[in-house]
Structure 1
Amino acid sequence: MPRLSCIVLLLGLSSSSWAGVTVQVPGLTVPASYASRLTDAQTLFTTSYAAYKQFAFGHDDLSPVSKSFSDGRNGWGASIVDAMPTMVVMGLDDLFEEAVNFTAGIDFSKSKTGDTVSLFETTIRYVGGLLSSYELSGEQFPILVTKAQQVADKMAFAWTGTHDLPYGFMNFATNKPTIATSNIAEAGTLTLEWATLSKYTNNVTYGNLAARSAKHIATLAAPLPGLSAQGIDPTSGNAVGSYVTWGGGSDSYFEYLIKYARLTNTADTTFIDTWKTAVDSSIRTLLRNSTVGNHLYLADFDGTQIRHVGSHLACFYAGNWLLGGKLLQNQTIIDIALQLNEGCWNTYASTVTGIGPEAFAYISSDGSFTGGSAPTAAQTAFYNQHGYYITSSAYIQRPEVLESNFHAWRITGDTKYLDRAASAIDAFNKFLPAPAAFAGLNNVNSANGGLIDDMESFWFAEVLKYLYLTFDDPSHISLDEYVFNTECQPFKAPPALDAYTGSGTLVPAKPFKAQSGVVPQFSPLSKVARPQ
């Protein structure tokens, strides 16, 4: 069998050979002085996976402090499936072939840890990991598609009757959905994976179900133009509440709007139009500068007032706006995204460990309302030094800041983003080592705040893949050739279109420059009709 690492290189085309809009800097190369950092990123992976194999193989997560395991993703071996595309990207062929053999034996018809299965988590980790592995390995292992189809066939029962929206959780023993309120991230983060499944099974049903759900969300009356409320009711198909955020519970719905348009080159303008309107609305309503440091963030909106809060999860938005700004050829979006990226990186640069916290808050010219408690004296002192304050101090191996940093490097070619990725590697090696592999942190602003006894499957899928690709040859897994799902699993994209404009006409972009304490106003990004 051909070596998988060679196959990946053969599958990769230089961005110059692709027609249409380009995302990456043409001819971008990583300076030779960073070569050791590629090895460092791979070593983090191989060290972590060796410990997983020793203490947790076949289970979902390694518990690196107690040298044990947990099964929070139905006991199907989430870390193995999630790690498989990273193995191919890194050329770890023996590990990958072992993982394929394991995956072939998974029985996705039933959960090993109780009957409830998350549609969202199972889609992004299992279906995404299996299908990305199939593509990256040169389509050599059809069993990977078979297994993705097996679990998707069970999850398809989450759509009942003629309902557009799926339920967020399934009982695999009865094939009945759990009757509960869902959110737009759960129902709107399926399109990339299920469309890819349709591609390889020649069954359009999978992709149609996912697209129907995302389009339904896009047509709901929204608290702010293009910015759907976080909560939804799968039974009625209606929105629940009026909370708006780019953070958890909403995040990847917005992420997938522009990514689905790119992955499929669909003629349906709903996805681009909704993403553009959401970004335009966010620029008009949610952008806030901190009164200290002039850092730029996207606020939340609770239906009545702005909440000056941010999160590690939400920091994906900088990378997503960079990608979308390049596809739409809109410099305004790109400029704002780069400043949002600076704000998120500041949450890393300001802590004792050099790693960003789970959640934070800030003060802007319109106040400091967060919906929670007022900052303590210690938080106020931290804010006065750093332009944000920590509201949840944990690090649970989130990738989003490094995800946006990776996009900033590939899209600008500025080596400061390489330096930042290198500093993250150093921080991980210094503060995350556990008795086995690497753990999370209780407090990123303490040198000895204690470890969290879990190594997430997305540590393999996202954190270490983004770090590796930051230092890898940029023509390998190029943003002009692949679209990443929200778990950082790459899917092959067709050649790009000459333009991604949706149904509206873009207004010429204006240069963006943040001003301290000022909420900037911009011309609309498109003439798309806005929902009322």
Structure 2
Amino acid sequence: MLRVLPLLLLPFTYTPVLTLAGSVQRPDLQLPASAAANRDAVKDIFVRSYESYRKYAFGHDDVLPVSQRSLDSRNGWGASIVDAMSTMYIMGLDGYFTEAINFVKTIDFNVSKTGATVSVFETTIRYLGGLLSAYELSGKKESVLLEKAKQVADKMAFAWQFRGQETRVPFGSLNFARNQPSQSTSNIAEAGTLDLEWATLSKYTGNDTYRRLAEGSARAIANIPAPLPGLAAQGIDPSTTSSVGGYITWGGGSDSYFEYLIKYARLTNTNDNLFADTWHTAIDSSIRHLLKNSAVGNYTYLADQDDYGNIVETSSHLACFHGGNWILGGKLLNNETIVSIGLALADACWNTYASTETGIGPEGFAFISQDSLSTLDAISPEQKAFNAQHGFFITSSGYILRPEVLESNFYAWRATGNELYLDRAARAIISFNKYLNVGTSGGFSGLKDANNFSAGRDDHTESFWFAEVLKYLYLTFDDPKHISLDDYVFNTEAHPFEAPPARPLYGSGHILGKSPHPFVLQSPGAPLPQVSPHVSPNNV
């Protein structure tokens, strides 16, 4: 008999009710004695990684630890320094933190040092988020962090311009030299993953314009007619505030828009139910239309939907944040069905780690569901064999130091107290030390093939290795009262922001109905912006 949870296979038919918000963390959470050694092991990985950066790339954005060179992938403002600051503070690495503050004093965000256009999304989550989180964590005493946050946001505000008029959503990239946006198609992740950071900047500067711009963008996306209720299409044209194509995914290009809907409701305690209700509606539609169980192993996945409403049974490391997000939102809505599905999604994503030679998950993967219309004819014999054993098959084999699987594992641990999640995190530490450690430089690098170590390393340490991967791993083994999920909200780059005491209720308890204006497919198959390093627009 298949081990099936009926709620995961049937339409999501429960009647939503308004219930009091629950605690996100299990109140009596206790760490085993072994946790301290694992926490220290993560801190040691951070120090070795950061020393490699300091030796070969300090002041630049990234270190290339194999070739022992630097790379400026984020406009040359020292992304690894700013992105690492909140992790430094949480780990008690005071010397690094002080050095980072002194470096921040030298940054001029008015000019891109590389001459390249500036990504509003990446600059917001890494630089603006990193600066504001470090400002809060260090007691709001380092005024230069707030000053630099304001400087970079003031430049990015020009992204909300088209032909001399303010747009409802920003363009994705901006020429800082001319304060002129690149007028091209964007996606909902780029345009809708700004409000946590910009609202926090308004909180500390007293200038509400920052919040108004970013919140207005998320609000505009939520109100665009969607292919499925709550599930906006991935592509968006900022000049018209209309959808481009109809592709739906919880993966790159859409991911963090959905992530921020419930997080914004929690961080701000807004009285506007739009954010929590849109998230709740997205969950409802996802369970009705996208939630699938694999024919092998009965693993729970979220599929994509293409421009024409066809299910695409594909996923990605990027999409694996969804388990943690569903756990968080399910707790805030006090809905254990959503929490249980979030845990199942986290399990399926962990299976992508447990199934490879290195114990580390691949960039992209696909699956065959129990009700799939697909066949195995289109995949290679090697993929067929892998699927028969593991319940998924690899479509993009690299690993570029992504955090999402360990992020969801962290939420699962803090919410349940099940030591299974500690065991998984401990196995990740072993794999990282064995396969990612570049012995000659002391740094850590991604892999060209997570299932074939002999394929080599990709020679790049992304700044989110410091900001996200090592922070989530460290906090998994740290005192649960430290950076509690009931006191902080993490941005999508894992920078924690102080949250007020939780409201009794989040949302109205109702699923939003269909838009009065039906979704009209425009420009199907149109090219969309590249969503993240080494990833194609629709994760395929």
Trace 1:326-337 onto structure 2 (pairs within 5 A): 326-337=331-342
CA–CA distance in 1 between the matches of 2:34 and 2:217?
47
3-state SS, counterpart of residue 256 of structure 2: helix
* 8 A Cα contact 1:306 1:369, kept in partner: no
DSSP 3-state at the match of 2:489: strand
1:314 corresponds, among 319, 328, 337, to 319
Cα distance per residue 1:17-49 (max 9 Å; x no partner): xx9741101131211122200000000100000
Q: Separation in 2 of the partners of 1:527 and 1:381?
A: 41
Q: In the alignment, is the contact (CA less than 8 A) between 2:21 and 2:331 conserved in 1? A: no
1:301 counterpart residue number: 305
CA contact (8 A) 2:35 2:478 kept: no
Answering whether residue 152 of structure 2 is matched by residue 151 of structure 1, we say: yes
- CA apart distance, 1:369: 4.3
| TM superposition shift of 1:410 | 0.1
Partner residue, 1:458: 464
- 1:299-325 per-residue CA deviation (whole Å, 9 max, x = no partner) reads 000032000001000000000000000
Flag the 1:373–1:165 CA change in 2: closer, same or farther, 3 A. Answer: farther
Normalised to the residue count of structure 2, the TM-score between the two structures is 0.89
Take 2:95 and 2:34, find their aligned partners in 1: how far apart are those partners?
29
Describe the superposition over 1:496-531 as per-residue Cα deviations: whole angstroms up to 9, x where unpaired: 01121x12x3xxxxxxxxxxxxxxxxxxxx343233
Q: CA deviation at 1:373?
A: 8.9
Give the CA deviation at 1:374: 1.8
The whole-number CA distance in structure 2 between the counterparts of 1:271 and 1:194 is: 16
Maintained 8 Å contact 1:20/1:495: no
- Aligned-residue RMSD, C-alpha: 1.3
* Alignment of structure 1 residues 70-469 onto 2, 5 Å: 70-160=71-161, 161-303=165-307, 304-367=309-372, 369=374, 374-434=378-438, 435-436=440-441, 437-469=443-475
Q: Deviations along 1:318-366, whole A, 9 cap, x unmatched?
A: 0000000000000110111111111111000000000000000010133
* Match status 1:58 vs 2:59: yes
Aligned AA (1:92) = L
Corresponding residue pairs, total = 491
Aligned equivalents of 1:333, 1:278: Cα separation in 2? 12
Q: Secondary structure at the match of 2:482?
A: coil
Cα distance in 2 for partners of 1:450, 1:529 equals 50
Q: Is 2:500 aligned against 1:528? A: no
User: Which deviates more, 239-248 or 20-29?
Assistant: 20-29
Distance 2:34 2:444 in 1: 26
CA drift of 1:162 comes to 3.1
CA contact (8 A) 2:362 2:396 kept: yes
Taking structure 1 as the reference length, the TM-score comes to: 0.91
Q: Percent identity over the alignment? A: 63
Deviates more, 1:174-183 or 1:358-367: 358-367
Deviation, structure 1 residue 433: 1.4
Q: Structure 2 CA distance, aligned partners of 1:144 and 1:447?
A: 41
* Partner SS for 1:452: coil
User: SS in structure 2 opposite 1:111?
Assistant: coil
Match of 1:509 in 2: none
Q: What residue number does 1:511 align with?
A: none
Q: Is the 8 A contact 2:230 2:512 kept in 1?
A: no
Q: 1:189 to 1:397 in 2, by over 3 A?
A: same
Counterpart residue type for residue 234 of structure 1: P
1:269-295 deviations in Å (ceiling 9; x for gaps)? 110010000000000000011100000
- Give distance in 2, aligned partners of 1:51 and 1:369: 46
Match of 2:59, SS state, is coil
- Confirm or deny: 8 A CA contact 2:86 2:467 kept in the other structure: yes
Q: Is the Cα–Cα contact under 8 Å of residues 229 and 513 in structure 2 kept in the other structure?
A: no
The CA distance in 2 between the partners of 1:447 and 1:120, in whole Å, is 32
- Distance change in 2, residues 1:104/1:369 (3 Å): farther
8 Å contact kept, 1:277–1:530: no
After the TM superposition, which residues 476-515 of structure 1 pair with which residues of structure 2 at under 5 Å, given as runs? 476-500=482-506, 502-503=507-508, 505=509
CA displacement at 1:209 relative to structure 2: 0.2
Deviates more, 1:426-435 or 1:309-318: 426-435
Confirm or deny: 8 A CA contact 1:355 1:444 kept in the other structure.
Answer: yes
Rounded Cα–Cα distance in structure 2 between residues aligned with 1:177 and 1:162? 12
- Paired residue type of 1:333: I
CA separation in 1, counterparts of 2:453 and 2:27?
41
C-alpha separation in 1, matches of 2:336 and 2:189: 27
What runs of 5+ residues in structure 1 fail to find an aligned partner?
A: 1-18, 506-525
Q: Structure 1 339/366 Cα, relative in aligned 2: closer, same or farther at 3 Å?
A: same
Local SS of the residue matching 1:166: coil
Mapped to 2, the partners of 1:309 and 1:224 lie a distance apart of 18
Poorly superposed stretches of 4+, deviation over 6 Å = none
Aligned match of 1:10: none
